[in-house]
Chain A
Amino acid sequence: MTMVSYSEAIRQAMTDCMKQDPDVFLMGEDIGVYGGAFGVSRGMLAQFGPERVINTPLSEGSFVGMAIGAALTGGRPIVEIMFMDFITLAVDQLVNQAAKLHYVYGKQARCPLVIRAVGGAGRNYGPTHSQNLEAWFCHTPGLKVVAPSSVEDAYTMMQEAIYDDNPVIFLEHKLLYPIKEDCILKPGKTKLAGSKRLQKGGDITIVSYSYMTYEARAAVQILQKQGISVDLIDLRTLHPLDETIILESVKNTGKVLIVAEEPRSCGISAEISSRIFEQVYDYIDAPVHRLTLPDVPISASPSLEKAAMPDRAAIVRAVHELCSK
């Protein structure tokens, strides 16, 4: 066991796959000498050369499209979107091309593509460098959307995303990058799996993903000391959504809190909430509770940004409120 950070785990997964498979390569802005805005691909240019670590001009719409073209002809590109906010420039290529070509060309086309999208607030980067836009892509049949919350998952799921034959939006949260965990990273070819129970408990279910799962884990520790036992479920794969474990958990606890760093309307938390009402309504003892961002742009000011984001304290408060019902 060694201490590995979330960003090192992603780099390690990409490196391991590139060593093994000549079809895997990187594209993105400033991923070369600079190593990516957050240093995730640092050192990879020297290791693999410019043919496989392709430093691109600022043309998201077209370098994502080129990655799709390469994927359709047997490549396994990994594209970094420096800030997820910039993915807006590539939406046509992702929604109208990558997501649909397998279906609309009668299953001939395969598009094994990974889009590494760096999302999330918490670093005071302002309204257009802090968004989580994953819900848009969950609304697009044909795309997979995943969001690892731990170092081990970052490694394993990156590997799984690379070897998946579908376009995968891989959501990375900037606040997770420096987080270190003691773990062993095992190369392998497992398939992308769904939701995972991180902690078993009987009083209440918490469902979350990405950085919010990190906050939820901290909240669970606090709640445990207070005698509240939480069933904590990390979504990991946001689309297609794996609801089974969530529904089972809610059947058992009767109470659920969903924590998602996304605008409140029409998002992942709303989807989960709806599925709970549709499928296990008889089992719930209290209305589904959601902690999300309000429907507002993320501010640059630290105080306003903090006011928008759910955190461990908010989670603890919400659990107390729910458990008192």
Chain B
Amino acid sequence: MKEINDKLIDDYTTMLLIRCFEETVDELFTTGVVAGTVHTCVGQEAVAVGASSALQKTDVVTSNHRGHGHFIAKGGDIRRMMAEMFGKADGYSGGRGGSQLMADYKLGFMGGNGIVGGSIPLAAGMALRFKQQKKSNIAACFIGDGSVNQGTFHETLNMAALWKLPVLFLCENNLYAMSTPVAEGNANTDFAVRAASYGMPGVSVDGNDFFTVKETIRGYAGLARSGEGPAFIEFKTYRFSGHSRGDQRLYRTREEENTWKKKGPLLRMKKYLIQNDVITEDDDRKIKISVRKKVQEAVKFSKASPYPDKETLLEGVYA
């Protein structure tokens, strides 16, 4: 029992860490401390952590432009992530990639992506390789609702199903492709039927409930691992933040935002943990303080880190 509870507390802590990291990043960009643009995932923490909790360490994950949560859930070092936002030498990509392009191949986090839909075939290719090598690992591909209209989505789902590749397409539907509501970009807003049309299981579940996310992924991951092929899972969720820095959120109402905030993943997880005596209010406070401290340390680390040496500009174009 203690083991189960400890794991739950770990997962809840990771969700809080993602929230705090993203809110801090948002503030750093909005106030101009850090230059450029950024896409945060405030409100979508249950998908990232539910997935990492269901998957195995040796599974690989590909991500998209809104990928900090996926990375933290896979074990990313938030100091090096934050330093990358700052464009500093100690960042994961040494300042080359920025917010969208970070990876840690040792952890199996195969990187964020700046092109919507760009990582879909990459993940399937990694799954193809697992299959060729007769390994039982799977590839998990995080995508958003915008990507289901890219050609790579349709082409890759077809090939993944055709060759029964061990890949899961995890679609975070946060209702808006940047500013365009799902219903304005899709003649049929039921994404799961697209999966069915390619001959793979497709389901739609509550993406703000950690337990639903975890159990759904665990089920399909098991099938993929045992050679049953891919699956598509849609997680209904909501990003509390704007699409990126400078988004005035003109395309949605504050009322809608407040409704979703009440259904937020952290509130629900906390409620469950307290009601089931896993943590107390005091524990919750303590976790939040420790998480904030970690993020502040990451900011401090990033500020102290030097900018990459200009002499290194041309390094690494070729392997």
Binding site for B on A (CB under 8 A): 25, 51-52, 56-57, 59, 61-75, 92-93, 96-97, 101-112, 141-142, 144, 165-166, 240
Contacts and interface: CB of A to CB of B under 8 A. Distances in A.
Given A69-B62, A106-B316, A142-B318, 6 more contacts: A61-B121, A69-B123, A73-B110, A102-B317, A105-B103, A109-B103
B156 A108 contact: no
A61 B151 contact: yes
B155 A107 contact: no
B213 interface: no
A53 B97 CA distance: 34
A51 to B, nearest CB: 6
B126 A73 contact: yes
A102 B92 CA distance: 12
7 A-B pairs with least C-beta separation: A69-B125, A65-B121, A62-B155, A66-B125, A59-B155, A69-B122, A165-B319
Given A97-B115, A104-B93, A74 B129 contact: yes
A97 B122 contact: yes
B132 A51 contact: yes
A66 B139 CA distance: 12
Given A70-B125, A75-B129, A93-B121, A106 B92 contact: yes
A72 B159 contact: no
A21 to B, nearest CB: 13
A11 to B, nearest CB: 21
A93 B155 CA distance: 13
A218 to B, nearest CB: 35
B168 interface: no
A75 B158 contact: no
B171 to A, nearest CB: 17
Nearest to A164: B319
A52 B133 CA distance: 11
Contacts of A97: 113, 115, 118, 122
B162 interface: yes
A65 B151 CA distance: 12
A144 B156 CA distance: 26
A93 B60 CA distance: 19
Nearest to B62: A69
Contact of A72 (B93, B125, B132): B125
B120 interface: yes
B114 A69 contact: no
B60 A73 contact: yes
Contacts of A92: 115, 118
Given A57-B162, A72-B110, A104-B96, A65 B319 contact: no
Which of B94, B123, B158, B316 is packed against the most chain A CB atoms within 10 Å? B316
Contact of B120 (A56, A65, A102): A65
Contacts of B158: 57, 59
A241 to B, nearest CB: 13
Contacts of A52: 132
B30 interface: no
A103 B93 CA distance: 8
B118 A93 contact: yes
A59 B159 contact: yes
A63 B159 contact: yes
B143 interface: no
Interface string B132-161: 100000010000000000011001101100
Contacts of B315: 107
Nearest to A240: B318
A65 B156 contact: yes
A52 to B, nearest CB: 8
A109 B139 CA distance: 16
B204 to A, nearest CB: 24
Nearest to A66: B125
A216 B120 CA distance: 44
17 contacts: A52-B132, A61-B121, A62-B159, A63-B159, A65-B122, A65-B124, A66-B122, A69-B124, A69-B129, A70-B129, A97-B115, A97-B118, A102-B317, A102-B318, A104-B93, A104-B97, A105-B97
Interface in B148-183: 151-152, 155-156, 158-159, 162
